[in-house]
Structure 1
């Protein structure tokens, strides 16, 4: 049995960036990271552009101008302005080459075809120069940039329709147990509804990992070996829940050994989630999480999350941790470090009741995990606690 710190370090050392590339349409590239630098195919803006609704001027020494026409967004014509002439213009419209300033509409007086400005206007006022954002051939977004909605909008404005990104891992979720029944079916005596796969799939979707398949295997050794062999061959990561302990019908550990999965660690000194397995077969990562739902989800956030970030070549691989003042008292049983389900708000944290590894209702309310080291037994109100913030 190893410490939490040792287990985290092993996960970080074992998980490697996938660095496989795939092409996505811009609109479907959200949350991916660029695998290649994108150079702008155009100037942005591609022409001198009005920054507001107003009037484009060919400046002269008088405050009055002759109004000779109009240019709106999307127009392609180029009126020629002589000194002292002006045109009506709208935000985003192309500014004629012969105009050298735009005055906002609130600062002019109009009398038929004569325009009078209140004050002199400096040259290039309210004109966005061609290539102000980015010039053709310059770097638009560098390799490794995460594609946020703003980044996607920016690339679309440059006319980019497809991007090459780093592939996200394919992930298989396997649930084990003869007692498990799918929701919607009749629950007979001795059975329970299976929830771990839905819970972990949702956690993965929340982190923008969508290449997820779900598999169920009975408590049967040969079937466990067959299923694991198949999903390990087809996926970058395999997450198993249940069957990793040492009971008569826990076959996962033996099956992994038969399949030559390298054990990196088994059992971590922590609560919940002591019977946690992590290993790999070449570049495939395998986690076997406890079957109890709250323990499985805790291990997911403490370890699987780190592996996923490493596979995506991210620098920040752990969930954010903050110091928070406790709003509650708590007494820890045993000498194992503990992750406690909690609610964090504005620098304070409330440890929730119902900390059993099977208590999903408590986890459903939590937005944080409080970490309690092994040498601390009693938590008092206003104690400073290390708090892991869960993804929202």
Structure 2
């Protein structure tokens, strides 16, 4: 059995960023990581552009101008403006080369085909120069950039369609147990509805992963062996819930051994989630998560999250803060414990209902409090180590 710190270090050491590349349509690249530098194919903006609704002028020594035309956003004509002349112009419209300033409409009076300014304009005021954001051929985004909505919009404004990115990991989720049935089936005596696969898939989707497949196996060595053999060959990460312990019908460990999976660790000195398995088979990482839902989700956030984040090239660790306790809690046993909690503005409240089988408390939580093994009690105003769950 390893400590929490040893387990996390082993996970981070063995989780490598996937280096294989692909190209995807820009709209499908949210949260992906760029695998190549992107150079701008155009000037952005591609022409001198009005930053305001107002009047483009060819400035002279007077405050009055003759109004001689109009240019809207999207117009392609470029009227010539002589000294002392102006045109009506709108935000985003191309500014004629003969204009040297744009005066906002609030500072202009219009009368009998002429405009009158409140003050003399400054050279190039309210004109966005061509290439102000980026010039043609310049570096637009560096390799390794994460494509958030801002980056997606930026690349779209450059007219880019297919983007070179690192592949995200392919992930298989396997649930085991003859007692499990699917939603919609009749709940007979001795059966329970399976929830772990949907829970884990939802957690992965919320983090931006989309290559996720769900699988079930019955409590049989042969079924478990053949299913895991196929999934290990096809995926970068395999998450297995249940069947990891040493019961007569827990076949996951036996099957993984039969497949010559390298055990990196089995069992972590923590509660919940002691029977956690982590191993490697070829290029594929394997987590054997506890079957109890709250224990499985705790292990997901503390170990699977950093692994899959690192594989995708993201920051691997949950945000950690020190917070002041707003509640009292007495721990049973001497194992370190992760406690479901609510964190807000520097204060944290440990919730009731910490059973490894109870998800209801997790629905209220936005954080996990780490309570060391030698600590028996949390008192109000104690300082606590808190891991913030991703939202």
TM-score range, shorter chain: over 0.9
Post-superposition CA distance 1:299-342 (Å, at most 9, x none): 0000000111111123x211101111111100111111100011
TM-aligned CA deviation for residue 283 of structure 1? 1.4
TM-aligned CA deviation for residue 190 of structure 1? 0.7
Tell me, yes or no, if structure 1 residue 389 matches structure 2 residue 388.
yes
Tell me, yes or no, if structure 1 residue 240 matches structure 2 residue 240.
yes
In structure 2, the residue matched to 1:175 is 175
TM-aligned CA deviation for residue 33 of structure 1? 1.1
Q: Distance in 2 between matches of 1:136 and 1:317?
A: 35
In structure 1, the residue matched to 2:290 is 290
3-state SS of paired residue (1:163): strand
In structure 2, the residue matched to 1:319 is 318
Q: Distance in 2 between matches of 1:22 and 1:179?
A: 41
TM-aligned CA deviation for residue 236 of structure 1? 0.6
Q: Distance in 2 between matches of 1:366 and 1:122?
A: 56
Gaps of 5+ in 1: none
Tell me, yes or no, if structure 1 residue 212 matches structure 2 residue 212.
yes
Post-superposition CA distance 1:13-54 (Å, at most 9, x none): 111111111111111111111111111010000000000000
Aligned length, in residue pairs: 391
3-state SS of paired residue (1:34): coil
In structure 2, the residue matched to 1:76 is 76
TM-aligned CA deviation for residue 258 of structure 1? 0.6
Normalising by structure 1, report the TM-score.
Answer: 0.99
In structure 1, the residue matched to 2:343 is 344
Normalising by structure 2, report the TM-score.
Answer: 0.99
In structure 1, the residue matched to 2:353 is 354
In structure 2, the residue matched to 1:375 is 374
In structure 2, the residue matched to 1:95 is 95
CA contact (8 A) 2:33 2:313 kept: no
Post-superposition CA distance 1:54-77 (Å, at most 9, x none): 000101111111111111111111
In structure 2, the residue matched to 1:149 is 149
3-state SS of paired residue (1:342): strand
TM-aligned CA deviation for residue 124 of structure 1? 0.3
Q: Distance in 2 between matches of 1:150 and 1:18?
A: 24
Gaps of 5+ in 2: none
In structure 1, the residue matched to 2:362 is 363
3-state SS of paired residue (2:87): strand
Q: Distance in 1 between matches of 2:163 and 2:306?
A: 26
Q: Distance in 2 between matches of 1:311 and 1:260?
A: 23
CA RMSD of aligned residues (A): 0.8
Post-superposition CA distance 1:115-147 (Å, at most 9, x none): 111101111000000000000000111111111
Query: 1:1-392 residue pairs with structure 2 within 5 A?
Result: 1-314=1-314, 316-392=315-391
TM-aligned CA deviation for residue 293 of structure 1? 0.5
Instruction: Write out the 4+ residue segments of structure 1 that deviate beyond 6 Å after TM superposition.
Output: none
